[in-house]
Amino acid sequence: MEYNDMVMDHFSNPRNVGTIEDASGVGTVGNAQCGDIMKVYLKIEGDVVQDAKFKTFGCGAAVATSSMATELIIGKTIKEALQITNKTVLDALGGLPSAKVHCSCLAEEALHAALWDYAQKNDIIIEGIKIPVETH
């Protein structure tokens, strides 16, 4: 299985690892098949994602995609953030081996789950958001 340099870089030096104490939204998702878990924290002010952090208990591809997903979402409006799909993350990373493409879905789901949490906490409706599946 071949990982490109960009994926290896984000795996070896993941950006935005950590937590945000007073996060506006937190999303936790898991992949039932492999058992990997991803948690994303977002700081949202004035409709813009000011900061994003993550913790991933998962494979290298999950770490790399979380890292890239948080890089992509920082500075985006909520509407723009919703446009970030696993394909966006994959493209930004220059692709993953086909057997690992499913790992990138966790990143998309975690971003959506954190935005969902933000919407719930603030009693707002975000058009087009996917309701996250509960993870325990």
Q: Extract the runs of DSSP E, i.e. beta strands, from the chain.
A: 25-30, 37-45, 48-57
Beta carbon nearer to ligand FES, 14 or 58: 58
Q: How far apart are CA 113 and CA 38, in angstroms?
A: 10
User: What does the alpha-carbon distance between residue 132 and residue 115 come to, in Å, rounded to a whole number?
Assistant: 10
Q: How far apart are CA 41 and CA 118, in angstroms?
A: 10
Residue that has been written with the tokens 């998309």 in this structure: 108
Interaction of residue 70 with ligand FES, rule CB under 6 A: no
For the chain, state the CA radius of gyration: 14
Shortest gap between Cβ of 47 and ligand FES (angstroms)?
A: 30
Asked if 81 interacts with ligand FES (CB under 6 A), we say no
Near ligand FES by CB under 6 A, which window of 12-20, 31-39, 74-82, 89-97?
A: 31-39
Which range, of 16-24, 58-66, 88-96, 115-123, touches ligand FES by CB under 6 A? 58-66
Does the active-site annotation cover 105? Answer: no
From the candidates 20, 96, 103, 110, give the one annotated as an active-site residue. Answer: 103
Q: Is 58 in the site for ligand FES (CB under 6 A)?
A: yes
- Concerning whether 103 is annotated as a catalytic residue, the answer is yes
Q: Closest Cα to residue 11, out of 92, 66, 52?
A: 66
Interface size with ligand FES, residues (CB under 6 A): 10
Q: Among all residues, which ones are annotated catalytic?
A: 34, 103
